Amino acid sequence: MSTTATAVEGEHHHHGPAKGIGRWLFATNHKDIGTMYLWTALAMFFLGGAFAMVIRMELFQPGLQLVNPDWFNRMFTMHGLVMVFGAIMPAWVGFANWQIPLMIGAPDMAMPRMNLLSYWLLPVALLVLVSTFFMEGNAPAFGWTFYAPLSTTFAPDTADFFIFGVHLLGISSIMGAINVIATIVNLRAPGMTLMKMPMFVWTWLITAFLLIAVMPVLAGVVTMMLTDRNFGTAFFDASGGGDPLMFQHIFWFFGHPEVYIMILPSFGVVSQILPTFARKPLFGYASMVYATGAIAFLSFIVWGHHMFATGLPLAGELYFMYATMLIAVPTGVKIFNWAATMWRGSMTFEAPMLFSIAFVFLFTIGGLTGLMMAMGPADMQYHSTYFIVAHFHYTLVPGAVFALMAGTYYWLPIWCGRMYDEKLAKIHFWLSAISVNVLFFPQHFVGLAGMPRRVPDYPLQFADFNMIISIGGFVYGLSQLMFVYIVVKAIRSGKPTPDQVWEGAKGLEWELPNPLPFHTHTTPPRVD
């Protein structure tokens, strides 16, 4: 490949990273920006995790021992916000930055400078959000869903900082999404038709469309909050002719596609990894593409299932119930395709594969509990209990986070040119996989028995389960420190990446030399 050419060519030498801090402050290289996204996301994962640890410590025993209820409210609010907007979404943008150009044979992202701006808005936005802890009125305490009027009439002044932070995050995400689509649409290598694109690229293309469709709606709803709070409008205020329920309708019009924004790239990563380690092509590639599109479409028309308990009219409940259940069809297609990919494959179980298989199993549990809650009448029992907490954590932790771990182990050898320690990674996997179930599985039981979410105390009958849940949480949280150790160890002293990283891996990113040059695919490769 021509990409190894790093010879100095007069003044136009553009072949290596700039020296010092400038490399990062003014980065336009997709690899550097991807790296910054990933480290930021990892840092936020631990910050959000620290908030979760406070929650689990408080709930370790009944009674109030560690934090007062206001602090508890801030902890679960900031845990949700930081994990969603600071950890999972930026981590996927980091993956997109690193992988999309490598996988479609592009030299870089389509708009490198906009890429830089969308990255740097992120730490600023997170700083604005987290700085509320040090202000009068303290951090937001109205839950990550910030329902009106809790977030409008009754929130402290710092809610305006929260709104500003969300605006910045939204602008950052929209710019990132525009960049992804522009790259995929315009910079694919010759011969790479849409239906030859790797699954990860497909899922990100669809995710980017979701982002462009719903992040502006989120920006709109927080703007309405802002004017309700400060400029005398009454979008969500009944006394002025508004309607607080309207907030939920608009928020969930954003919020439901948002959960697919976090999970679709996971589907893509797993669809890359399973064929590699089963040494078989992905089963039903075309159906995977269409299923992803179908899930994305359906995500726009099911928001009402978050609002079953608000007194929707019967026809509305029935519509949202059936439309939601419909999502199980394309999701089922995906899960069966993954199973069929592994069927009679020559499987080996390296860390990326272990995380991916765990993803398929555990995400399916989260999906099935989702189906249970899609049933309007049954949802009345689950609503706002620990059952829903268990449901969405199964889809997001052993779902999205496991896919992130799998993807990191899978591509780390080409990202940093060095191998990670397989033995440690396997220990990390088993610790995570066991503790995540200890953490979240019993939450189904306490939820069904009626333990409400977002309350710092509970009756005595939930004491044993909560202690088990907390222990699972502590083990899970601590085992993620291993992940940092493994990644740092790989970067510092890992064995150099061999020419063939994984035996069954196929795709343009694996044909590049190791260690990866600073610029890749400067001459577009040909895809047949």
Partner 1 sequence: MSARGVKQTALRLLGAAVLMFGFGYALIPLYNVICDVTGINGKSSSLQQAAGADGAEIDQSRLIKVEFIGTPNSELPWEFRPLVKSVEVHPGAVTDIYYHARNLADYSITGQAVPSVVPSPAARHFSKIECFCFTKQTLAAGETKAMLVKFRLDPEIDPAINQVTLSYTFYALDDEGAVKQPNAEPVEMDHSHHAQVPAG
Min separation Cβ 402 and partner 1, Å: 31
The reply to whether 271 belongs to the active site is yes
The reply to whether 463 sits near partner 1 by the rule CB under 8 A is yes
Q: What is the full DSSP assignment across 93-131?
A: HHHHHHHHHHHHT-SS-S-HHHHHHHHHHHHHHHHHHHH
The reply to whether 138 sits near partner 1 by the rule CB under 8 A is yes
The reply to whether 70 sits near partner 1 by the rule CB under 8 A is yes
DSSP 3-state assignment of 452? strand
Give 176 or 504: the residue with its C-beta nearer to partner 1: 176
The reply to whether 10 sits near partner 1 by the rule CB under 8 A is no
Min separation Cβ 404 and partner 1, Å: 26
Give 17 or 240: the residue with its C-beta nearer to partner 1: 240
Distances (CA, A) of 185 to 180, 202, 205, 358: 8, 11, 9, 33
**Size of site (CB under 8 A) for partner 1:** 62
In the region spanning residues 355 to 414, those forming contacts with partner 1, defined by CB under 8 A, are none
Give 300 or 361: the residue with its C-beta nearer to partner 1: 300
* Selected binder of partner 1 within 1, 43, 57, 69 (CB under 8 A): 69
Give 210 or 262: the residue with its C-beta nearer to partner 1: 210
CB 232 within 8 A of CB 271: no
Distances (CA, A) of 470 to 390, 466, 483: 13, 6, 20
Give 186 or 493: the residue with its C-beta nearer to partner 1: 186
The reply to whether 262 sits near partner 1 by the rule CB under 8 A is no
What is the rounded distance in angstroms from the CA atom of residue 283 to the CA atom of residue 199? 12
CB 273 within 8 A of CB 406: yes
Q: What is the full DSSP assignment across 459-515?
A: -GGGHHHHHHHHHHHHHHHHHHHHHHHHHHHHHHHPPBPPS-SSTT--SGGGGS-SS
What is the rounded distance in angstroms from the CA atom of residue 380 to the CA atom of residue 392? 17
Give 67 or 325: the residue with its C-beta nearer to partner 1: 67
Min separation Cβ 52 and partner 1, Å: 21
* Selected binder of partner 1 within 43, 117, 213, 449 (CB under 8 A): 213
Give 204 or 420: the residue with its C-beta nearer to partner 1: 204
The reply to whether 141 sits near partner 1 by the rule CB under 8 A is yes
What is the rounded distance in angstroms from the CA atom of residue 32 to the CA atom of residue 116? 10
Nearby residues of 354 by Cβ (< 8 Å), 6 or more positions away: 406, 426, 429, 433
Positive/negative CA dihedral, 421, 426, 432, 435: negative
* Residue 126 amino acid letter: L
Give CA 91 to chain center in angstroms: 7
Q: Which long-range contacts (CB under 8 A, 24 or more apart) does 231-235 make?
A: none
The reply to whether 287 belongs to the active site is no
Min separation Cβ 398 and partner 1, Å: 30
The reply to whether 172 belongs to the active site is yes
What is the rounded distance in angstroms from the CA atom of residue 367 to the CA atom of residue 158? 36
The reply to whether 167 belongs to the active site is no
The reply to whether 160 sits near partner 1 by the rule CB under 8 A is no
What is the rounded distance in angstroms from the CA atom of residue 408 to the CA atom of residue 261? 19
Residues 215-234: x/- map of binding to partner 1 (CB under 8 A)?
Answer: xxxxxxx--x-------x-x
The reply to whether 421 sits near partner 1 by the rule CB under 8 A is no
Q: Which of 31, 56, 74, 79 is catalytic?
A: 79
The reply to whether 212 sits near partner 1 by the rule CB under 8 A is yes
The reply to whether 229 belongs to the active site is no
Give 24 or 297: the residue with its C-beta nearer to partner 1: 297
Instruction: Give the helix/strand (H/E) hosting 376.
Output: helix 376-382
Give 153 or 348: the residue with its C-beta nearer to partner 1: 153
The reply to whether 173 belongs to the active site is yes
Min separation Cβ 108 and partner 1, Å: 11
* Residue 220 amino acid letter: G
In the region spanning residues 168 to 187, those forming contacts with partner 1, defined by CB under 8 A, are 174, 177-179, 181-182, 185-187
The reply to whether 470 belongs to the active site is no
What is the rounded distance in angstroms from the CA atom of residue 302 to the CA atom of residue 326? 10
The reply to whether 36 sits near partner 1 by the rule CB under 8 A is no
Q: Which of 172, 207, 341, 497 is catalytic?
A: 172
Contact residues: partner 1, CB under 8 A: 61-65, 68-70, 106, 110-111, 114, 137-138, 141, 153-157, 174, 177-179, 181-182, 185-187, 212-221, 224, 232, 234-235, 237-241, 243, 245-246, 249-250, 253-254, 311, 313, 316, 457, 460, 463, 524
Q: Which residues are catalytic?
A: 79, 108, 144, 172-173, 256, 258, 260, 271, 305-306, 331, 334, 453
